[in-house]
Amino acid sequence: MILRLLFLALVVLPFTLVGLPIQALILAFNRPGWTILPRMFFKLMAFGLGLRVKIVGAPVKNGPVLLVANHISWLDIPAIASKFPVCFVAKSEIANWPVVGFMARLQKTVFVNRDRRTDAGRTASEMKDRIEEGSNVLLFAEGTSDIGTHVLPFRSALMGAARQAMAEGTGREVVVQPMTIAYTALSGLPLSRHERPKVAWIGDMGVGDNLKTILSSGPKDVTIAFGDPIRGDGDRKTIAKTAEREVRRMLVALNRGQPLQ
């Protein structure tokens, strides 16, 4: 834990202090290459937090693509963003968090108020803008995080609104691609159910306690798997169910150490 704290304090923090104003200027003047600094930052974060990330498959590259995934922990964010550039869709409360909210904006995060149905249209429009810029957009479709042993029902409303808005903005049908996040091992040993609180964000768990547990635990193996893309021209509820089944199938296989078919 001490070594990780030293790395975060002596490497990640200085990089952040130098990189934040540079990133702000890049976005303010709409310069290319805005994904470079965030990706470097998340690579350092992933290393400092003990994440060992493995990728299975790849996101569709001839977009527009809407990635939909399960959600287990805030560790999902550095794990994913350390491997490829992506714009996250996050709950609106995060925008007001000190430092974190500011940093999320510098990565072009789209914020959504899940308690207001009328917010779906605005959020979908912002997601469309990210796609038009050539960015990957990732939606944690469960709407919350879970322990990582199963997948909660996917919410179809925002998925459907985003798909429609992006299709209208790009003039092309949007492909929906399932993506699964699985924490499979801790210190090289299979992750048991009672050890999952060492990585998962569960219930009303406090930030301080969760961070302390993560820093004091061993290396954490994370697998990010991409499923077959789903055509986006069907019923949104059907698409959500299909994506949910695929994410669940991949999660079960990864948790059991089985190869993905």
242: Cβ contacts below 8 Å, ≥ 6 apart: 230
pTM above 0.85, yes or no: yes
pLDDT at position 17: 93
Buried b (16+ CB within 10 A) or exposed e, 138-172: bbbbbbebbbbeebeebbbebbbbbbbbbbebeee
Find the CATH number of the domain harbouring 206.
3.40.1130
Tell me, yes or no, whether 212 lies in a domain.
yes
The string of pLDDT tens digits covering residues 102-135 is: 888 888 999 888 777 667 778 878 887 887 777 7
Per-residue pLDDT reduced to its tens digit, 248-260: 999 999 999 988 8
Q: Domain for residue 148, yes or no? A: yes
Let me know if residue 40 belongs to a domain: no
Burial grade of 77 (CB within 10 A; 0-12, 13-18, 19 or more) = buried
Asked whether residue 260 is domain-assigned, the answer is no
Asked whether residue 161 carries a pLDDT value surpassing 80, the answer given is no
Domain hosting residue 51, numbered range: 46-255
203 located within any domain: yes
Residue 26 lies in a domain: no
Is 230 among the domain residues?
Answer: yes
Total domains in the fold of the chain: 1
